[in-house]
Amino acid sequence: MKDSRVKNIRIDLLSKKAYTLNNITFDYQLKNGNWVRQSRECYDRGDGAAILLYNKNKKTIILVKQFRMPTYVSGNGDGFLVEVCAGLLDNQDPIDCIIRETEEETGYRVSNVKKVYEAYSSPGVMTEKMHFFVGEYSSNMKVNDGGGLDSEHEDIEVLELTFKEAKAMLQNGSINDTRTIVLLQYALIQNIL
């Protein structure tokens, strides 16, 4: 992890409310050999997991719709996003996390999930690494209505969409969450959808 092109790292805490925001100052050696002092704000909220649930027999997927304040203040009309089920690991194994989040958010109890990717969410400003999964669901896996946890003030709408509807939403920009786009594109490439 240590790179000889990085030295004199200083970390200053800017905020530690829900998560940690630091300002990191460091010396960085350019490829031409010159050293420059740089400063970056770095947001640490932990790693996450996301899953695309699909049913090949019904030709449907499960997505969720919820309010996202950062998108609201960034011009996303009512602030609601249609997205895959996702959550923070909270020091949990990614598979255990996504199984828990799936039941909390969608009401489906899945046990067989497949990890397809692992990638940094926004590496210029965040430490978060997202673990991407796919998994099949069926009606007999439905154990509750989903919707998230009241204790976390989650207000999640569960959506069951046909493959055709999901593709149309992807193409017309109705789905504009990166995690969801990544997993839908994966499903299209793998001929799941």
pLDDT of residue 18: 87
pLDDT of residue 153: 80
What confidence tier does 24 reach under pLDDT thresholds 50, 70, 90?
very high
For the stretch 118-165, pLDDT in tens is 999 999 999 999 999 999 999 999 999 998 888 888 899 999 999 999
For the stretch 29-79, pLDDT in tens is 999 999 999 999 999 999 999 999 999 999 999 999 999 999 999 999 999
pLDDT of residue 150: 82
Q: Are strands 129-136 and 48-55 parallel, antiparallel or unpaired?
A: parallel
pLDDT of residue 154: 84
Helix (H) or strand (E) holding 71: helix 69-73
For the stretch 68-117, pLDDT in tens is 999 999 999 999 999 999 999 998 999 999 999 999 999 999 999 999 99
The whole-angstrom separation of Cα 190 and Cα 75 is 33
pLDDT of residue 95: 97
Provide CATH code, domain 48-189.
Answer: 3.90.79.10
The whole-angstrom separation of Cα 68 and Cα 66 is 6
Q: Is residue 1's pLDDT more than 60?
A: no
All structural domains of the chain with their residue ranges: 6-44, 48-189
DSSP letter (8 states) at residue 92: S
The whole-angstrom separation of Cα 69 and Cα 37 is 34
pTM for the structure as a whole: 0.91
What confidence tier does 3 reach under pLDDT thresholds 50, 70, 90?
low
Whether residue 102 contacts residue 53, with contact meaning beta carbons closer than 8 Å, is answered with yes
